[in-house]
């Protein structure tokens, strides 16, 4: 990281510099400093707590915030060092539930400014380490219509028949036909409360969806394949291209509006300026290595290692392959069960166009 151009973080409308500090024998920690516009001290204190109420008590001031239990360890730090440092710097007491018990982190102090300062620093730590959690759910548009599944299975059979001699091309890297979908974005929902919130927010998108679709299914064509990276001879993901049959941009607008909504709520991190519409048909993360043992590499390569495949012949032969047409009528919020993306999906929430 460049010292003069540090990464910026926005929390509740306020902007901070992220300063990474690497301490020997300690997990990486991060410190932040406010870089917003000049303000009076009192105004800055009040604005830092816009989304949380600081209550006055007989002994001073108190603020409680909901934090998923999986993030407690980042506030506590190794042997409690992070919490002690926060308490010492802000002259507050920070009470954290036992690990694994969902609850609230409670900050108390003699002065409102102290509680406000501690709250800001805790929120910054939460925001930073939340982004490092693996995603648990994803927002998608289903493509597993029966006709598309049939077209996909024919594509798989023909590719294996004509291109199986190409490096890395084998049956295990093909998508499960029942899981064909367009991924809009991923979410790290760390407890049941966050899952409920995401489902509620999806339902609130009903008016936006109907505004774009007119309350009718979108007629789509799934035709052609494309790859993600720069070298067609070293591909990790091959995807099917999807377009609205009337040539409109309704699908792109729908995807962008949904992602914008979830990003604005802090439930999703924006990956691109516009959603990259892709229906994965081949992915090297699905690859099975019969020589690998457990989670290590004693008998072969590590389970998580990716081996790219040569897609040049596939692109040449099947570049305009027609998987089929379908009527898209729903958006799904699904749970990801498998850490390697090969496990089954469970629908947590759904909303229909009509």
What's the pTM?
0.75
Query: What pLDDT sits at residue 44?
Result: 41
Please tell me whether residues 124 and 151 are part of one structural domain. no
Q: Which domain holds residue 21?
A: 7-130
Please tell me whether residues 141 and 88 are part of one structural domain. no
Please tell me whether residues 86 and 144 are part of one structural domain. no
* pLDDT (tens digit per residue) in 164-220: 999 999 999 999 999 999 999 999 999 999 999 999 999 999 999 999 999 999 999
Residue 275 falls inside a structural domain? yes
Residue 2 falls inside a structural domain? no
CATH for 38 = 3.30.1370.10
State the sign of the Cα–Cα–Cα–Cα dihedral 205, 211, 213, 215. positive
C-beta separation of 130 from 189 below 8 A: no
DSSP string covering 245-264: TT--SHHHHHHHHHHHHHHH
Please tell me whether residues 74 and 207 are part of one structural domain. no
Residue 119 falls inside a structural domain? yes
Per residue in 276-291, is it b (16+ CB within 10 Å) or e — as a string?
A: ebbbbbbbbebbeeee
Among 98, 130, 162, where does a domain finish? 130
Please tell me whether residues 94 and 155 are part of one structural domain. no
CATH for 186 = 3.90.1140.10
* pLDDT (tens digit per residue) in 219-254: 999 999 999 989 999 999 999 999 999 999 999 999
Please give the angle made by the CA atoms of 343, 339 and 157, to the nearest 5 degrees.
45
Among 95, 130, 165, where does a domain finish? 130
Looking up tokens 């995603």, which residue turns up?
Answer: 135
Please tell me whether residues 110 and 24 are part of one structural domain. yes
Collect all residues with Cβ–Cβ distance below 8 Å to 105 and sequence separation of at least 6: 64, 65, 67, 72, 75, 94, 95, 96, 97, 122
Q: In what side-by-side order are the strands of the sheet with 7-11?
A: 7-11, 14-21, 29-34
Please give the angle made by the CA atoms of 13, 54 and 56, to the nearest 5 degrees.
155
Please tell me whether residues 97 and 186 are part of one structural domain. no
Query: What pLDDT sits at residue 339?
Result: 43
Please tell me whether residues 42 and 26 are part of one structural domain. yes
Please tell me whether residues 159 and 74 are part of one structural domain. no
Please tell me whether residues 251 and 172 are part of one structural domain. yes
Please tell me whether residues 158 and 125 are part of one structural domain. no
Domain count, the chain: 2
Among 110, 130, 150, where does a domain finish? 130
pLDDT band at 110 (very low <50, low <70, confident <90, very high): very high
Please tell me whether residues 70 and 162 are part of one structural domain. no
Query: What pLDDT sits at residue 298?
Result: 38
């Amino acid at each position: 990281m460049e010292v003069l151009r540090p990464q910026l973080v926005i929390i509740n409308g306020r902007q901070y510099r992220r300063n990474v500090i690497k301490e020997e024998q300690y997990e990486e920690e991060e410190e932040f400093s406010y870089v917003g516009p000049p303000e009076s001290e009192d105004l800055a204190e009040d604005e830092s707590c816009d989304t949380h109420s600081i209550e006055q008590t007989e002994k001073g001031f108190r603020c409680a915030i909901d934090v998923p239990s999986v993030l407690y360890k980042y506030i506590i730090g190794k042997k409690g060092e992070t919490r002690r440092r926060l308490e010492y710097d802000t002259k507050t007491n920070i009470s954290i539930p036992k690990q694994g018990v969902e609850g609230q982190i409670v900050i108390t102090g003699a002065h409102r400014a102290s509680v406000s300062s501690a709250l800001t620093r805790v929120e910054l730590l939460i925001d930073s380490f939340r982004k490092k959690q693996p995603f648990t759910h994803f927002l998608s548009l289903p493509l597993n219509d029966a006709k598309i599944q049939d077209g996909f299975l024919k594509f798989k059979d023909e590719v294996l028949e004509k291109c199986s001699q190409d490096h890395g091309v084998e049956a295990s890297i093909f998508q499960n036909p029942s899981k064909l979908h367009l991924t809009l974005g991923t979410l790290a929902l760390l407890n049941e409360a966050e899952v409920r919130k995401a489902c509620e927010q999806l339902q609130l998108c009903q008016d936006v969806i109907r505004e774009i679709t007119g309350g009718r299914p979108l007629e789509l064509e799934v035709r052609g394949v494309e790859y993600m990276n720069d070298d067609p001879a070293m591909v990790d993901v091959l995807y099917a291209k999807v377009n609205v049959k009337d040539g409109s941009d309704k699908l792109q607008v729908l995807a962008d509006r949904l992602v914008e909504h979830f990003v604005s709520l802090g439930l999703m991190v924006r990956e691109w300026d516009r959603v990259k519409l892709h229906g994965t048909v081949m992915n090297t993360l699905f690859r099975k290595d019969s020589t690998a043992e457990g989670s290590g590499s004693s008998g072969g390569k590590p389970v998580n290692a990716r081996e790219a495949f040569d897609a040049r012949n596939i692109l040449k032969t099947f570049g305009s392959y027609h998987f089929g047409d379908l009527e898209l009528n729903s958006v799904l919020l699904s749970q990801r069960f498998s850490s390697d993306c090969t496990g089954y999906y469970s629908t947590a929430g759904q909303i229909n166009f009509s």
